[in-house]
Amino acid sequence: MSKIIAINAGSSSLKFTLYEMPGEVTVSSGIIERIGLKNSIFTIKYGDGQKYNVVEDIENHEVAVEKLMKQLKELGIIADFSEITGVGHRVVAGGELFKESTLITDNVLEKIEELSELAPLHNPANATGIRAFKKLLPEITSVAVFDTAFHTTMPKENYLYSIPMEYYDDFAARKYGAHGTSHQYVSERAADMLGKPLEDLKIITCHLGNGASITAVDGGVSVDTSMGFTPLAGVTMGTRSGDIDASLLPYLMNKLEITDINEMINILNKKSGLLGLSGISSDMRDIEEAAEAGNDRAQTALDIFHNRVQKYIGQYIAVMNGVDAIVFTAGIGENAASTRKIIIDGISWFGCEIDDEKNNIRGEERVISSEDSKIKVLLIPTDEELVILRDVVCFAEKA
């Protein structure tokens, strides 16, 4: 039986799900976390609840892919690499070029690398993952699934910046957003869980991971999203600043004696967010632990994170002139019960309330608002891999 692997290479993680076809049966899944940091965590789930778990330093995504494939064989999950007939890669930035998923040719891979200027943390990681798989499995169906595709439905007034129109016409300078597969998947699941047609719902989806974005989904389509021209915009993230006043850049460059704007952008992408504010870590678990132990900077980082998410939810209630449901997903959204509670408590005026008992859960689909809550609040583990798998299957069937 053939197998298809879905790859989700994030800025600091590489997630995979291996499916046996037909039937979309998950035979193995796993994650390599903290890639590029000390003590990367390598986890593979397989068989009858078996788990392979190792902590080792994994320096980049190419090493991660090699180790993953080697381990799948060693654990007997695959007998040979040839069992894998298709691979789907999540790619963050598709620009205006890729409005839907596409077969990866050399030309497509080149374009994905060219689009790195739109997603400096992700596209290079995505491309490295694609190359590593091409090297190991050159013959298989290889598909790119773009995070920006879901947001191509945004209206002009939400994707255009208030800068001279020629910059959009000539250089495609606009908002693209990201995490589209995730926002699409959780909004569809939310409609199923609420037993209502997606077309009738206004949903705000909060994808809170190392990278974080909030999307306004009206009638099943993305109408606005917090990330911008690149994933640098929006809410405070693990290492990214989120929104700032552009005038701060020349001011800081002058003070810091930085002459290269790329150095400044690198600081905003890699040294800011929770990491820059706390001075401790980009990882929410480390921040929560430090805040609990009384570290002021960690507490401030937490407060700012909650505040930014609340502000975007407020904005999107205005953008859609209402909201039926708020969804939490991704690493922080799925696991950090206190974060969900603090965010919702702070916007209770709109008519939402957390049920503490229901909220006391991790990584399981559930309505976590109280019975009386006008706005339903849902925890929905994202499943970008399933969206990716289905797109690979579409292309494999056409081949």
Q: Which residues bind ligand ADP (CB under 6 A)?
A: 10-13, 209-211, 238, 283-285, 288, 330-332, 335-336
How far apart are alpha carbons 47 and 26 in whole angstroms? 10
Nearer to ligand ADP, 174 or 340 (CB): 340
Distances (CA, A) of 34 to 16, 60, 182, 336: 15, 10, 21, 18
208 labeled binding residue: yes
Q: Which residues pair with 84 in a beta bridge?
A: 3
Phi/psi for 45 (5° steps) reads -105, 140
286 labeled binding residue: no
Task: Quote the least distance from Cβ 160 to ligand ADP, whole Å.
Answer: 27
Task: Quote the least distance from Cβ 375 to ligand ADP, whole Å.
Answer: 23
Task: Quote the least distance from Cβ 47 to ligand ADP, whole Å.
Answer: 24
316, amino acid identity = Y
Task: Quote the least distance from Cβ 283 to ligand ADP, whole Å.
Answer: 4
Active site residue 147: yes
**8 HSE (CA, 13 A, CB side):** 23
189 labeled binding residue: no
Q: What angle do CA 189, 190, 192 make, to 5 degrees?
A: 65
Nearer to ligand ADP, 317 or 379 (CB): 379
How far apart are alpha carbons 50 and 33 in whole angstroms? 19
Query: Which of 221-224's residues contact partners 24+ apart within 8 Å by CB, and which partners?
Result: 221/153, 222/150, 222/151, 222/153, 222/154, 222/177, 222/180, 222/183, 222/184, 223/153, 223/154, 223/155, 223/158, 223/319, 223/320, 224/154, 224/158, 224/315, 224/316, 224/319
- Residue number with the smallest Cβ distance to ligand ADP: 331
Nearer to ligand ADP, 384 or 391 (CB): 384
Task: Quote the least distance from Cβ 329 to ligand ADP, whole Å.
Answer: 8
256 labeled binding residue: no
Nearer to ligand ADP, 32 or 352 (CB): 32
Nearer to ligand ADP, 196 or 297 (CB): 297
386 labeled binding residue: no
Active-site residue, from 80, 106, 147, 296: 147
207 labeled binding residue: yes
* Binding-site residue ranges for substrate: 90
Catalytic residues: 147
* Binding-site residue ranges for ATP: 15, 207-211, 283-285, 331-335
